[in-house]
Amino acid sequence: MVALALQVKGITKRYPGVIANHEVDFDLRKGEIHVLLGENGAGKTTLMNIIYGLSMPDEGECYLDGELIQITDPNLAISRGIGMVHQHFMLVPTLTVVENIILGVESLRPRTAFLRQLSLLDLASATKRIESLSKQYGLEVDPAAYVRDLPVGAQQRVEIVKALYREADILILDEPTAVLTPQEADDLFQVMRALVQPRGDKHGKSIIFITHKLKEVLAVADRITVLRGGRVVGSTMPSATTENELAAMMVGREVVLTVPKGPARPQEPVLEVQDLKVLDDRHLVAVDGVSLEVRKGEILGVAGVQGNGQRELVESLTGLRKPVGGHVRILGQETTLASPRRITELGTAHIPEDRQKHGLVLSDPVKDNLVLNTYYRPPFAHRAVIAREQVADNAARLVREFDIRTPSIETATSNLSGGNQQKTIVAREFSRPIQLLIAAQPTRGLDVGSIEFIHGQLVKRRDDGCAVLLVSAELDEIMALADRIAVMYKGKIVSVMPAEEATREKLGLLMAGVS
Amino acid sequence: MDMRIIIGLFALTLVKATPLTLGALSGVFCERSGVVNIGIEGMMLTSAFTGFSAAFFSGSALVGIAVALATGGLLALLHAVLCIRFELNQIISGTVINLMAVGVTGYFNRVIFSGRTVPGVETLPRVEIPLLADIPFIGPILFQHQPIVFTTIILVFLVHIVLFHTPWGLRTRAVGEHPRAADTLGIDVFKVRYINVVVGGMIAGLAGAFLTLEAVGTFEKLMSNGRGFIALAAMVFGKWSPVGAFGAALLFGFAEALGVRLQIENIGIPYQFLGMLPYLLTIIVLAGVVGRSTPPAASGQPYRKE
Ligand SMILES: Nc1ncnc2c1ncn2[C@@H]1O[C@H](COP(=O)(O)OP(=O)(O)OP(=O)(O)O)[C@@H](O)[C@H]1O
Ligand SMILES: [Mg+2]
């Protein structure tokens, strides 16, 4: 019997209108990777926040190394060797990597006395320590870089090093792969395996790993626990289960993992892009002469490793970033320099890549977020006055239709689980008549049930005659949905092919710049 | 032009820049931790008054300075409690402090000092730093001043070191940019903000002491004269960094010194127009030049734990 690193018993946590955790029992053995699985809003993050001391349970107890302990704040968790990589990164963009990593433990003591906080920072020895950690576990980070300049994959590594720097023995990874490319995810799994390896006579580290990707679960888990509606519905081993079984356990019904989809019937072009040139935030060319066309009734998938200009492309098509050259036409109308509102009013829907930054007003209630781009026109407004009842009715309907798990339509969107924030955006964009849908990573962070639903919706829109531009880092998603596939590499479209001709290998090579 | 005029102009620039620099440092301290403080003007004015009164009645300039510091600190504590504890809008809280300062100093000035013959205290003595003061050109510009001018220059570098090279400064910057991230690392966001706001207030208090105890030796109604706001402009122009803010304050100080100088030279422009120089410069700088400097991301937003 391997010793338990951590055990929680009977954890209950209530929020206004929901029971996020209901008498949850969960344990973690030393040196194991324990996957926590569950639908959006099942209570995974809530449970982890409780273990990390960010929120207090209403009931239940927690044991560390067999000792009953009340984790009242993150300081205590950190000093007892618990580290957490949060679902939404907790890095300060304007600080450097070293600064982010040493923040709070500048002198390697959990509580630096106030006067010692006025001593000089020792960045040199911190950097040394970071370098040795990064070598030891294969986590490549550049200590002197500013976090704001790093791609998400690198930020992820910084988060992990941050936890290791605090000598974490228990590592909580909350959906770390949601924002990673398949290659980056594989690298992460290597790191995780290195972390749980015993070192000398010491146990390896123990990892709680949260993900929605069932393939990953089977690949890395030693043990799997499934939460549904705040309760533990079961535990299993990867050897004893299948993707379908896990999906059913999570959602409570059979889930179709492949999208049923008939042949496309493309008609006239809706979106025409010609020789588009766009700069990124650092004024470097990010989109370099892209031309493409999306027709009514087809899904054009844009595949590519993140950071090859996809974000800038989408932002310029939706009016969020002004191109420096080329043309964009929607339904025959020039929209190259048009405002987001004009583009929206032409019948364009946009599911942005960064849901918290571009998709939602987090502090506002769900019902208002559901009319963010239609609030000013009937039926939601009469002249200058908002029709509250219509807004509320609309919200109630969409919450039902799109299965957004929220205590009420008045709840601030910041209080929804990550996946339900995403569903809120999708519901809003799909709830009005649209001709063109621009979707960037539309299922990022969603559970299998919701992915099934959204994929179905995308295909349905297509069949209703909508033109769909789907940008995704998930090859599986592109392959499952797209009728034509464009591969983007270093700001250029390097190839466009019908979906039938695409294979994983072929796309993979193109994405890596081999042609 | 006469060398002495140029030396005089630059030396005066440093003097005029002193309250602006202090005000800007006060702002940097607060805003870097995420609390906007537009009440610096009021803190300056109030501590100018209390500092002067204390020096007047005790006969000791040191007591005056101590009281001014305490006044700035206490007003800042009020601001901090309103903004952090009660999550009041930070602009409103700052405005309250500014309005209160005008009323309170005006009232007590009349109650305490009216009827006496223009009360005054001796201004702080001029100090010449041995050896350095004798360097030609540089010496008279930099090293022959009153104590608060010297203190200010030292403070600029001290604040720079604290902010960018100590754990406290690192935590301050983190809390001002992304308080939740700091919170997840066990940093007490509220404590960092309270301390920074109060220390910032004390620096504003020193600026007040400068106005009465170092510059003129008496208190006049509304004597801070918008310097707290120009200081904020200097802070923005200097991109929330102490050294940058000092540079900006020198620029504004130069405009003010030039106005004074030209008035003495009597070049035929009415003095009211010359007096406008620093304010005009503020508008120009804020409207155009600094378009791209961004404040700490969380400044102005109260933090709430989950
Ligand atoms: N601070 C909060 N206030 C109110 N409700 C909350 C808060 N945090 C979470 N909830 C609610 O608790 C439930 C569980 O949320 P949690 O974030 O734990 O889900 P999750 O399993 O992590 O989902 P996802 O996979 O989407 O991230 C949700 O219904 C959510 O709306
Ligand atoms: Mg979550």
Structural domain contains residue B66: yes
Q: What distance in Å separates residue B92's CA from the closest CA in chain A? A: 21
Residues of A within 8 A of B165 (CB-CB) are 120-121
pLDDT for B53-74, tens place per residue?
A: 999 999 999 999 999 999 999 9
Residues of B within 8 A of A54 (CB-CB) are 183-184, 306
Long-range CB contact pairs, A136-141, < 8 A, 24+: A137/A164, A137/A191, A137/A194, A137/A195, A138/A187, A138/A190, A138/A191, A138/A194, A139/A164, A139/A191, A141/A97
d(Cα B25, Cα B268) in Å, to the nearest integer?
A: 36
What's the pLDDT score for residue A394?
Answer: 92
Residue with tokens 């295909």: A459
A198-205 mean pLDDT: 82
**Residue A235, strand partner residues:** A225
Q: Which of A119, A123, A128, A120 is nearest to A96 (CA)?
A: A123
Query: Are A18 and A45 a contacting pair, CB within 8 Å?
Result: no
Mean pLDDT, chain A, rounded, equals 89
Three-state SS sequence of B227-258: HHHHHHHHHHHCCCCHHHHHHHHHHHHHHHHH
Looking at residue B162, which CATH number applies to its domain? 1.10.3470
pLDDT for A266-304, tens place per residue?
A: 889 999 999 999 998 878 899 999 999 999 999 999 998
Q: Which DSSP state fits A443? A: T
pLDDT for B76-119, tens place per residue?
A: 999 999 999 999 999 999 999 999 999 999 999 988 887 565 67
Residues of A within 8 A of B199 (CB-CB) are none
Residues 6+ positions from B280 with CB-CB distance below 8 Å: B255
What's the pLDDT score for residue A258?
Answer: 75
Pseudo-torsion of CA A91, A96, A100, A102, nearest 10°? Answer: 170
What's the pLDDT score for residue A108?
Answer: 53
Could you give the number of structural domains in chain B?
Answer: 1
CATH superfamily of A4-251: P-loop containing nucleotide triphosphate hydrolases (3.40.50.300)
**What proportion of chain B, given as a percentage, has pLDDT over 90?**
64
pLDDT for B222-239, tens place per residue?
A: 999 899 999 999 999 899
pLDDT for B242-259, tens place per residue?
A: 999 999 999 999 988 988
**What proportion of chain A, given as a percentage, has pLDDT over 70?**
97
Query: Is residue B195 over pLDDT 60?
Result: yes
Whether residues B306 and A49 touch (CB distance < 8 A) is answered with: yes
Query: Is residue A91 over pLDDT 90?
Result: yes
pLDDT for B12-56, tens place per residue?
A: 999 999 999 999 999 999 999 999 999 999 999 999 999 999 999
What's the pLDDT score for residue A112?
Answer: 54
Find the distance separating the first CA and the last CA of chain B, reported in whole Å. 65
B267-273 mean pLDDT: 79
Residues of B within 8 A of A71 (CB-CB) are none
Whether residues B178 and A92 touch (CB distance < 8 A) is answered with: yes
Token reading at B110: 């009349």
**What proportion of chain A, given as a percentage, has pLDDT over 90?**
53
Residue B289's pLDDT band, with cuts at 50, 70 and 90, is: low
B202-228 mean pLDDT: 93
Mean pLDDT, chain B, rounded, equals 90
Specify the CATH number of the domain A256-347+433-515: 3.40.50.300
Protein residues near ligand 2, an ion, with CB under 5 A: A 45, 87, 418
The chain A residues in contact with chain B (CB within 8 A) are 49, 52, 54-55, 73-75, 78, 84, 86, 90-95, 99, 102-107, 110, 112, 114, 116-121
Write out residues with Cβ below 6 Å of ligand 1: A 15, 18, 20, 38, 40-46, 87, 405-406, 415-420; B 306
Strands (E), A322-401: 325-330, 333-334, 348-351, 381-382, 385-386
**Residue A68, strand partner residues:** A63
Provide the 10 A C-beta neighbour count for residue A2. 10
Ligand 1 centroid to Cα of residue A367, in Å, is 17
What residue owns the CA closest to ligand 1's atom 17? Answer: A417
What's the pLDDT score for residue B276?
Answer: 83
Examine domains A4-251 and A256-347+433-515 and report if their fold is the same: yes
A308-316 mean pLDDT: 92
A164-191 mean pLDDT: 87
Residues of B within 8 A of A91 (CB-CB) are 178, 181
Token reading at A59: 């009931």
What residue owns the CA closest to ligand 1's atom 7? Answer: A415
pTM over 0.80: yes
Phi/psi of residue A199, nearest 5 degrees = -120, 115
A347-366 mean pLDDT: 89
Query: Are A314 and A353 a contacting pair, CB within 8 Å?
Result: yes
d(Cα B81, Cα B37) in Å, to the nearest integer?
A: 13
pLDDT for A247-269, tens place per residue?
A: 888 888 877 777 788 888 888 99
Going from N- to C-terminal start, the domains of chain A cover 4-251, 256-347+433-515, 354-431
Residue B121's pLDDT band, with cuts at 50, 70 and 90, is: confident
Residue B190's pLDDT band, with cuts at 50, 70 and 90, is: very high
Domain encompassing residue B179: 3-114+133-289
Structural domain contains residue B258: yes
What's the pLDDT score for residue A445?
Answer: 80
Structural domain contains residue B303: no
Query: Is residue A110 over pLDDT 70?
Result: no
The chain B residues in contact with chain A (CB within 8 A) are 161-162, 165-168, 170-171, 173-174, 177-178, 180-187, 296-297, 306
Ligand 2 centroid to Cα of residue A65, in Å, is 26
Q: What distance in Å separates residue B175's CA from the closest CA in chain A? A: 9
Structural domain contains residue B78: yes
Structural domain contains residue B122: no
